[in-house]
Chain A
Amino acid sequence: MILPFFIIIPLLTAFLITLISGKKDDWAIILSIIAALSLLVLSVFSFVTIGGNTVVYNMSAWKIPYTICLVLDALSSFMLLIVSIISLTSLMFSIKYIRHLSPSWKYYALFMFLVTGMNGVIVTGDLFNLYVFLEIALIAAYALVAYGSKAEEFEASFKYAVMGSISSILILVGIGIIYSTTSTLTLASIAKVLPERNPQVMYWVGGIFMAGFGLKAAVMPFHAWLPDAHSSAPAPISSMLSGVLIKTLGIYVLIRFFFNVLGAPDIFMTIFLVLGSISILVASFLAIGQWDLKRLLAYSSISQIGFILLGLGIATPLAIFGAVFHILNHAIFKSLLFYNAGTVEMAIGTRDLRKMGNLTKALPVASSTSMIATLSIAGMPPFNGFFSKLIIIIAAVQAVHPGYALIAVVGSLLTLVYFMKVQRYGFRGEELIEKPDVKVGLGMKASMIILATLCVVTSLLVIPGIREVTLESVVSVITGKTDYIFNVLGR
């Protein structure tokens, strides 16, 4: 049974790093890379083998609802895979980057706690356990945002902590209401009992969770923490936050709760559509006005989360396919873009687009991979973002939501606008920069090249034959809605 290892490996690594690392960070790097590699192997194995099955692991000899259970299905193995890919590349990127910033084993220990929290949220089948893992991930994230120890980083971390706490309180209140109504905390049991006991509570809790987990996902109007936190954090942490954290703590939980527990009530699907649309448009305009590269990327994350919510809100199998595909794609290209931003910041010491120039000679890997990421996120063919956005647009029209299709099209256009600004000022400006101030590390280059390759390779996931054995099974878990109850509890 591999399920607990998704939590044990990073948790144990975090403690090991704390115990055996001396003043140097060598052991911390080695241990965390080994852990990330192991997690990647495990997640690939689970994603390839899980198919349409659901694996349940009880943490004690007791049975549900008296035990905490871990659940692995196509959706959770898909999320684990994304977390593993981005964790590994972020760690590779961190080696040189963090040594340049402020070398310490603490960074790697916190990183492993972050991964523990995310993996725990993904595999747990228990609502309170989910809350605990969510807090582990968040506390690690607060510390990592402030890792650079500058005033603006502390401020960002403080804001993030305050707003994160508000959302945690909301989530805790929701959990309390659920427990008082259903007397259970197992998600599958809640799904079974809640509609029978008091359907109105379902909507109240849905509203509270929408805000609580919506804040974790940075959906508008609960997004305000994100631009500060994501732009202040070290680049590999920004990529973890934008690439996977907001999806794991936010989008994944929203999917699990609203689809698999509540059965996707129409009112919440409409809320998904409206909040998704607002996020796409407003965040895009905010990104257009930015000159700080990482802040621009942070607003872009809010906008792209809007696309995912739009797909989920349309709620047809095709739309959900588009949303799931976009979760993967966004994790890849947004992490890559943060690596690019981190490379530039390290090499020439600025995040201000107006102070950059033509970096094609000084930073060839960063500038060429940033071009690929730009084209991907802007939805240009044949990169992955083109297909996920196309699918969402097709699904919106098919579901007779042409207005939302138009919003997706306009959002795509606006994405192109602000990323062309990044290219024009950040990487292909007038002034040619011959040499970087600091040399870019091999791990940094490798992580950028891996993700740039994935921007192209993941496009193949739409090909019939590949699609069925990969994303379709994830979509089945979501569209199966409360089939989750039977998959976990048995018939």
Chain B
Amino acid sequence: MAVNELTLLVVIPLGISIINIFIPSILRKILTFLGLCYLLFLNYNLFIIPAGDAYLFNEVIFSLDKLGFFTIAFIQILSFIILIFSLKGVVKSIEKQFFVLYPMTVAFCNGAVLSAHALGLLIFWGLTGITLYLFGVLGQTKDAPKTAKKTFIIVGGSDAFLILGFVLIWFLQPASAWSLWNVQLELSGQLAYIAFFCILIAAFTKAGGFPFHTWVPDFSKDAPVESVALLPASLDKLLGIYLFARIVLSLFVLNFGIHLMLITLGALTIIIAVMMAMIQHNGRKLLGYLAISQAGYMIMGVGCGSWMCANGDIKGGSIVALVGGLFHLVNDAICKANLFLTLGSVEKKTGTNDLDKLGGLGKSMPVIFTMALISALSISGIPPFSGFFSKWLIYQGVLDLAKNMSPGYQIWLLICLILAVFGSALTLANFMKFLHSIFLGKRPKTLDNIKETSANHWIATGLLATLCIVFGLFAMQIPIKHFIMPIVVEHGWAIPTLIGSYNPILVILFFGLAFLIGLVIYLFTKNVRYDEIYLGGMEPLEKFRVVGTEFYNEIRNMVPLRSLYDGAEKKYFDVYDLGSKGSFSLARLFRSIHRGQLQLYSLWIIVGVLILLWIVK
């Protein structure tokens, strides 16, 4: 009997994970590598010939539609590439646990996406949260246990709401029978809204959407860098936006107000996170905030999806934005994973990810610098890289939706759009700071002997950087045509015509021309005078080195941003810290009436009895 291919996507990595507990290090790596190679091959097979559903107890447990295939494909691609990076360089003391957790995470992520039944999704979703926590406790920093706890409370807590959401859907629409597809629950009545918000909380938490994003920067800072690239940067984002897309496309019929709310939340996520990134001194935390910021674009794009006209047809702009949102998900996962990995390479060589202590490594690590540069430019939305095209699609979609609205809503959408564009500019500004702090400027003396990193790091970051370029140049021909448009077609929607023209080849020609002009100008004015910095006769000390983190100190101190930044640094806007403070206040209140006095407790019993007797009288 042939084994269902969808089942293999879960069983194989899970099996590898279990075997990895018992075998030596080298075999562990080989087995994991071969296993993930096979998963890529399976994925290719699924691309050519779609697999049938998998059954257990005569119930469909695994099934794959086009949205699922899109997510599954990139889970395999990214986990394979990040594995290449992880083959050498994982801290020895945690290597075994890492290679047990790694394929296990892939199995659970696959399971979550393949689940046709909400119960299956709940189980696998919860399991991915557990592996996230276990990766968190492998962190080597002092704060790692604290961060792992915070992460699991936020992520695991959101799972509880996911359960309630699905139970409510089932209650309101029993015919759906816990299916994840074509539920199309109308948002009318309190319970439907509660169900919607419960599931939205889970999706936002996983993807890092505002205001449930606060675990991402901390996890990025404290967990092993490979796991950061794997989970919050790519797989968790894929899962979160996958669930969000399910909400929009098949679980609920959204109304105008909800679409507007989602776009607004997207814009807020973009701008708040990017502003927070500006004041970071820790490279990983900076990337963490930028990962959140990019989730805002996805929320904005996918949140526009399924926006209906009065006659029930789906608006063209909505589809463009949806395509853009999903494409941006892929781009961000690729670029952000690459940026974490490049920073990881630097960290493994220098022993720090503190931007204040780095600098001038472009010369000693040119390959890693180039890969980081490509990813940074791509995710900042610089053409012809992939990030530009996805953002371009989202902007177009939102503009198209705004066309036929009343002026008030037009202004609202325009403000969201401006925030998104401004956020893109600030992303670039942040990456200037990031790149300068690590690779440009004057190199600290302590980093004089730093050499390029190992070949597996080059290959992994090189592959991801290549994807940034290829998906930019051939966006329409590869990712959109083969992975995203089938989702639109499957829903029976018309493929929209894009507003405005964009030709990446033409853009390259323009860039080439600009480069040539720049070169000519340089050749004519190349007699630049270099002088020693005069410091009143003093030796140029380390403290006079210009570090990238100082670029935006003015913004940090600007009124009224200063008080907002102060508040943010004191965690006034962190749902986790707010929840902690609230919980401890209540705990103190309840403890104040539990003083250990026997008389008091006896009184409670007597009063309790009297109340009960009064109730039942």
Contacts and interface: CB of A to CB of B under 8 A. Distances in A.
Interface of A: 158-159, 162-163, 166-167, 170, 203-204, 206-208, 210-211, 214-215, 221-222, 224-225, 227-228, 267-268, 271, 282, 285-286, 288-289, 358, 375, 378-382, 386, 390, 393-394, 397-398, 402, 405-406, 409-410, 412-414, 416-417, 420-421, 423-424, 428-430, 463-464
B127 A382 contact: yes
A346 B615 CA distance: 47
A316 to B, nearest CB: 13
Contacts of B586: 285, 288
B160 A379 contact: yes
Nearest to A357: B145
A165 to B, nearest CB: 10
Given A285-B587, A288-B583, A289-B587, A207 B160 contact: no
A190 to B, nearest CB: 17
A-B pairs with the 8 shortest C-beta distances?
A289-B587, A224-B601, A424-B149, A381-B123, A381-B126, A207-B612, A203-B616, A211-B609
A151 to B, nearest CB: 13
Interface of B: 57, 122-124, 126-127, 129-130, 137, 142, 145-146, 148-149, 152-153, 156-157, 159-161, 163-164, 167-168, 170-171, 191, 194, 579, 583-584, 586-588, 590-591, 594, 596, 598, 600-602, 604-605, 607-609, 612-613, 615-617
11 contacts: A204-B613, A224-B604, A271-B612, A288-B587, A381-B124, A381-B126, A382-B126, A405-B164, A413-B153, A416-B152, A416-B157
Contact of B588 (A206, A211, A289): A289
A410 B201 CA distance: 14
Given A378-B156, A406-B164, A413-B160, 4 more contacts: A271-B616, A375-B130, A397-B164, A420-B149
Contacts of A358: 145
Contacts of B602: 162-163, 166
Contacts of A208: 609, 612-613
Contacts of B126: 380-382, 386
B123 A215 contact: no
A406 B122 CA distance: 17
Nearest to A424: B149
A398 B534 CA distance: 78
B161 A409 contact: yes
Contacts of B123: 381-382, 386
A409 B156 contact: no
Nearest to B613: A207
A206 B616 contact: yes
A163 B99 CA distance: 53
B601 A402 contact: no
Given A163-B605, A380-B156, A402 B616 contact: no
A416 B194 contact: no
A393 B124 CA distance: 19
A420 B152 contact: yes
Contact of A428 (B137, B142, B194): B137
A163 B615 CA distance: 23
Contacts of B149: 420-421, 423-424
Given A393-B167, A430-B142, A417 B153 contact: yes
A380 B129 contact: yes
B168 to A, nearest CB: 6
Contacts of B600: 224
Given A222-B605, A289-B584, A378-B156, A424 B598 contact: no
A215 B167 contact: no
A420 B153 contact: yes
Nearest to B579: A417
B175 to A, nearest CB: 15
Contact of A159 (B124, B163, B601, B609): B601
B145 A222 contact: no
B617 A282 contact: no
A416 B616 contact: no
Contact of A398 (B145, B171, B583, B616): B171
